[in-house]
Amino acid sequence: MQRLAGKVAVVTGGNSGIGLAAACLFAQEGAHVIVTARRNETLEKAIAQIGHGAIGIQGDVSDLEHHAHLATEVRRRFGGLDIYMANAGVITLTSSHEVTPEEYDQQFNINTRGIFFGVQSITPLLRDKASIILTSSLAATKVLDGHAVYAGSKAAIAAFARHWALELRARRIRVNILSPGPVDTPIIGKLGITEQIRPEFLAQMSALIPAGRLGDVQELALAALYLASADSSFVNGIELHVDGGMSLV
């Protein structure tokens, strides 16, 4: 049985990593999927991979006009929305004393502002009993080297979720947080981890995780599917840590 049959789902940052895996799984489970991304070339590749008639909309979540355009397209094509996964994010690892204003602004504009105004813009289109999923990070609650700004930008999401879960209760719209630990995604390469040092990096990270390994994007996608579907119909306002137990150590 397809758990999202006939549902309409938006996944921001759905062109790679966790977002792409979630979008693929949502589509396989019967949802009409819309994904967003900043770069058109990666968006086109993602649409081809997702299949099932998925739709791509290019734009930057830090741009309020992008959210307005997305809402207009959802209304025009589907009339409403059942699942909104605010997943787009960016990370720069820098010690606090070296953080530039540009690095700070980029992370807060995308990770915090982008989520807040994305939800604000799309909420009028959400159908009753819809699901909002906010992608956060283990870094929001666990101190990790070089993560101060990123952690701050993600920590705000927990406050958003608590308020929205209550603000939207009359419509029975659920708001939950998906909080990944280290996951083997393309973002590792963007952090300066070359193919040469990748095995050593993965081994070092794995030693810090009780599960003994990094997470896989499919594991995060399954957690997102749980929060998106009726399987979690009595789950609201939680932060679901999918981190192999790393939050415990």
Query: Backbone dihedral region of 51: left (phi > 0), alpha (psi from -120 to 50 degrees) or beta?
Result: left
Residue 41: Cβ-neighbour burial (10 angstroms; 0-12, 13-18, 19+): exposed
Residue written as token pair 């193919």: 195
Active site residue 150: yes
State CA 61 to chain mean position distance. Answer: 12
Catalytic residue among 84, 104, 150, 226: 150
DSSP one-letter code for 169:
G
Give the Å distances, CA to CA, from 8 to 185, 207, 249. 26, 40, 38
CB under 8 Å to 122, separation ≥6 — which residues? 10, 67, 70, 71, 74, 81, 84
SS3 state at 53: coil
27 close to 7: Cβ distance less than 8 angstroms: no
Answer yes or no: are the C-beta atoms of 225 and 164 closer than 8 Å: no
Residues taking part in catalysis: 150
